[in-house]
Amino acid sequence: MKIYLLDLGSLVIDRSDVLWHIDVGTAVRFPVYGVYVDHPEGKFIFDTGYDLDHVNKVLPFELPEQTPEQTIPAQLAKIGVRPEEINYVINSHFHFDHVGGNRFLTNATLLTSKLELRSSLVPEPFERLGYSDLSFYTRGMKVEYLEGDVELAKGLSLFQTAGHTIGHLSMLAEPEGRRPMIFAGDAAYTYETLDRMIIGGFHLDPIDSISALKRIKAVAKQHDAEIFPSHEMEPWLKWKHAPEFYGA
């Protein structure tokens, strides 16, 4: 299993959106990335970034920066993979900055919980902007519904971390010759989120959001895994980016 981090651009939000109620009025630029897992049992992508046109149109205040290279097709091209070769796409959740590249994965089966899909299509009022890019879904497309924690393939699994959204999922990958990796998704934007146990300012359920942080830490401890938060610039810049990869 090889694990590639795909650079999909960056956005700006307030620090109080990263850490609820902290440093209100301080803008923070953060990375948006996807994870491509090349596994003997299939080709998986976890999160696909945002669609630049969509953000420019609907959320221009998040000041998107995305070069043509920072898209799913261009990132996969670096590895020699065509988007139509991807077998499965999983989104930690269906917010616009995690689903924007799904539409390129024309042969992929979408793996999701019914809850998350339903809520993205019929959101709460305060979730409308989050769930504003529905290009990832068309009725009749290939979907498999997940329940609970799920093993996707040997050494690759999803676990439930609801709170940020109703069906949020994090991913655990256990590549050979390397410490296991947890891709937290927006259950943990940053390491500070985990250290201080302060949830983000976007959330469906604050109590569940805290439980999700605890769960990520518990799974990390159980597997001696390294946690990769979703939206923090400094560590992101130090990680390997595609075409480099983790695992073997």
Contact segment (CB under 8 A) with its own copies among 22-30, 45-53, 84-92, 233-241 equals 22-30
Indicate whether 16 belongs to the interface with its own copies (CB under 8 A).
yes
- Per CB under 8 A, contacts with its own copies among 115-134 are 124-126
Options 29, 69, 206, 240; binder of its own copies; rule CB under 8 A: 206
Indicate whether 98 belongs to the interface with its own copies (CB under 8 A).
no
Task: Tell me the C-alpha distance between 6 and 155, whole Å.
Answer: 20
Contact segment (CB under 8 A) with its own copies among 3-11, 19-27, 101-109, 182-190 equals 19-27
Indicate whether 198 belongs to the interface with its own copies (CB under 8 A).
yes
Long-range contacts of 49-52 (CB under 8 A, 24+ apart): 49/6, 49/8, 49/9, 49/97, 49/98, 49/100, 49/101, 50/8, 50/9, 50/11, 50/96, 50/97, 50/98, 50/100, 50/133, 51/96, 51/100, 51/101, 51/103, 51/133, 51/135, 52/9, 52/100
Shortest separation between residue 207's beta carbon and its own copies, angstroms: 6
* Burial class for 47, CB neighbours closer than 10 Å (0-12, 13-18, 19+): buried
Options 38, 103, 201, 217; binder of its own copies; rule CB under 8 A: 201
Active site residue 97: yes
Indicate whether 204 belongs to the interface with its own copies (CB under 8 A).
yes
One-letter amino acid at 10 equals: S
Applying CB under 8 A, the residues found at the interface with its own copies are: 14, 16-17, 20-21, 24-26, 124-126, 197-199, 201-207, 210
What amino acid positions are annotated as catalytic residues? 97
